[in-house]
Amino acid sequence: MPRVIGLKRLRSLKERITPHGRRHLPLGSGPYTVGCVDVMTDHSVAGLFLRLYYPTNSTDAQWPLWLPNKKYGNGYVYFRRKNTKIFGTILNWVGGDMYVPVLWQAPVLETEEVAEPFPVVLFTHGLGGNRTTYSTLCSDIASNGFIVAAIEHRDGSASMTYCFKQPACNDTFLEEEIGCLEAESKEDDFNIRNKQVQLRVTEIQRLLDFLETVNAGREVRNVLGHHFDLRSLKGRLDMSKVSVVGHSFGASTAIATLASGDQRVKCGVALDGWMLPLDQSVYSEVTAPLLMVNTESFQWKDNVRPMYRFGVNGDDEKMRRLLITIRGTCHQSQSDFQFMVPGRIGRMLEVRHTLEPRVAMDLNNKATLGFLAKHLDIPNCDHHDDILLGENPLVIQGTNLDLNSDD
């Protein structure tokens, strides 16, 4: 169970849940308060591990801390190949008291209040991320009336994850950490990451199977032992409106999922995608709508050129294939890290760029929500065409890179 803080004397659905004096990530932009729960479907590595975000009307609940425990802070540092003792202490100090403004194990919004089921987003993290790295993005999407399932991959790409093992001598289960898998060369990098992305797609498909089981009201075991009853989600997920969203390596996973032929996934969003892990076949196999949102300072020509093979930014009035770049942003402008470290220090650590983090996240999330609303046919939801078409002054349609030059 994550560390939590109790909330008392709440005054309104949004204002009541602000614990005064506590550092927290931004509140969601939508009309709904958000609940969350962690789910592990099996003790072994064969099980799924995820965080669910969903609309709630509860106020009497708790906020979880962003770092589930100190091992997750050390995992980030180990992934960056820094001294765990020194930098782990710093990260746990910077992020250790950061709260996520969602209500821990709050009940899902009942049908009496919103009769229609909620569309579903499958979220897949980047290399060195985990189920909480993108809490701002996931909770913001949920606040706009989605159920978001943020998986923690067990392919060796998470900064930190774990399962449980049972010693031969007794019935007690012990935590077993699953560390990051590293590549030793560029050629080795493709071979390892390509195998990982295939495993990740399998995990996404198993996640879909799990959500279908939950939506049908069949009993599902959560070995973490939380009191949240997953059967309360029966009929609350609109499995006809499923999308996949991912960042970096997660963007590769989202694209590969669309290429897998699984017709349950209707569209996808690739945030600052990393194209190296993908087979060449994906460029012809993706038929669903796809949005790619790049940051200004991260991308390079050999990585962006393949994105144009999807036929982005053409004359299609339905806007099925789009590529945009947000000015003043870096790779972590789509994660929570930009909210951890202020100003110059944040830029020195390359977790934020020149654009104010809340503005960067707002543009990113509006682009994502607008694209999903358009292609999942969600009523009463802004499509944010000014952002998707590059008409916003902070957004470029296409890329900021000159792809015609060889330098």
Q: Which contiguous run of DSSP H or E holds residue 326? A: strand 321-326
Q: Which amino acid is at 364?
A: N
3-class SS at 306? helix
Which residues in 7-73 belong to E strands, given as ranges?
A: 33-40, 49-56, 62-64
- Distances in whole angstroms, Cα of residue 96 to Cα of each of 50, 89, 350, 355: 20, 9, 19, 25
The tokens of 397 are what? Answer: 């349609």
The one-character DSSP state at 307 is: G
- Bridge-based pairing state of the strands 49-56 and 33-40: antiparallel
Q: Are 56 and 80 in contact (CB under 8 A)?
A: no
Q: Quick one: CA dihedral 220, 217, 1, 77, positive or negative?
A: positive
Which of these is catalytic: 125, 153, 331, 375? 331
Q: Are 58 and 35 in contact (CB under 8 A)?
A: yes
Output the CA angle 47-50-195, nearest 5 degrees. 65
User: 3-state DSSP: the chain helix, strand, coil percent, rounded to 5?
Assistant: 30, 20, 50
Q: Which residue(s) pair with 118 in the sheet?
A: 237
Residue recorded with tokens 């892990």: 277
Nearest Cα residue to 247 out of 374, 128, 106, 354 = 128
Which of these is catalytic: 38, 155, 272, 336? 272
Nearest Cα residue to 213 out of 196, 192, 235 = 235
Judge whether 135 counts as a catalytic residue: no
Which of these is catalytic: 243, 248, 333, 335? 248
Q: Cα–Cα distance between 140 and 176 in angstroms, integer?
A: 32
How many C-beta atoms lie closer than 10 Å to residue 111's C-beta?
A: 12
Judge whether 189 counts as a catalytic residue: no
For the chain, give the longest Cα–Cα distance.
Answer: 66
Backbone angles phi, psi at 77, to 5 degrees: -65, -45
Q: Cα–Cα distance between 400 and 151 in angstroms, integer?
A: 31
Judge whether 248 counts as a catalytic residue: yes
Q: Are 61 and 227 in contact (CB under 8 A)?
A: no
Q: Cα–Cα distance between 224 and 317 in angstroms, integer?
A: 47
Catalytic residues: 248, 272, 331
